[in-house]
Structure 1
Amino acid sequence: MSAADRLIEHYRPLIGSEIHVGPWLEITQERIDRFAEVTGDLQWIHTDPERAAAESPYRATIAHGYLTLSLLPYLTESNHPDFFDKSYPGMRLRVNYGLDRLRFPAPVLVGSKIRAHTLVKGTEKIGEAVQFTYLITVEIDGGEKPACVAEFLARVYP
């Protein structure tokens, strides 16, 4: 049995299960501003607290949806030094393959705390690689709707 086949067998009982809940992270204005600077998205709803307080329906600045998305490696702890060997035994590298579905159901107001829940939707062999489909839901502390729901694809190679 190949390393890819062993990995698929290892994950088979986990399909449909939540495998991780990440740490809470507070979204600060400094983080929002730095993301705005890097991406060039300087819309006032993100970067101008006074104007947002007066004119925004949220009465505060909000994080960029793509900021929330870009935090998924931190929120899922998938870049932790121990994560790879623990999660993908017998494999040598993982690549982000993309997203099949992405939504931002609720805004993340400045000062909010968010965290990610990861569920395994499926695995399949693609050549020598194993493709994982994860459903990642970013929760807002105290919120009724999630900040982000992403169907994330990762490929892992022996």
Structure 2
Amino acid sequence: MFDILMYLFENFIHSDMEVVVNHDELTDELTRAGFHRQEIHKALAWLERLADLQDSQTLPYVNKSPNSSTRVFTAEEVARLDCASRGFLMYLENLGVLDFATREMVIDRVMELDTQQFTLDDLKWVVLMVLFNVPGHEDAYDQMEGLLFEEPEGLLH
């Protein structure tokens, strides 16, 4: 499922190509690209839920909280998001790339992925997908895109 999301993001959304709105046409396109229909339907449902989260502007369990709040992860979230991933989320919040609502959207979307292994690189792509879909977060998207694609220059020590 995550491969399909990446394919869609790279080939349609991120490349500024016109996105096919018809689910049947999109399913046919993805089937021709070699993906299985069941996985395609899961990926499209994942994207629809992301759109629903964006439309609601907040998750039902997220209250307006001060910037100094601490996020406590559930056991399921800790199992999916390793220490490096949780630290990266905190780093993005400190940079101002994520706020509490977009952080919760990212965590929600990560938890809905049907994947056995989830890496820090996968998390970065989910953050990018979420920020792309939330109006008013264009600067945060650009900043995250820079974090994802920039290569360090010079010596690292």
Task: State the TM-score, normalizing by the size of structure 1.
Answer: 0.28
Rg bigger for which structure?
1
Q: Which has the higher strand share?
A: 1
Q: Which has the higher helix share?
A: 2
Larger relative contact order (C-alpha < 8 A, sep ≥ 6)? 1
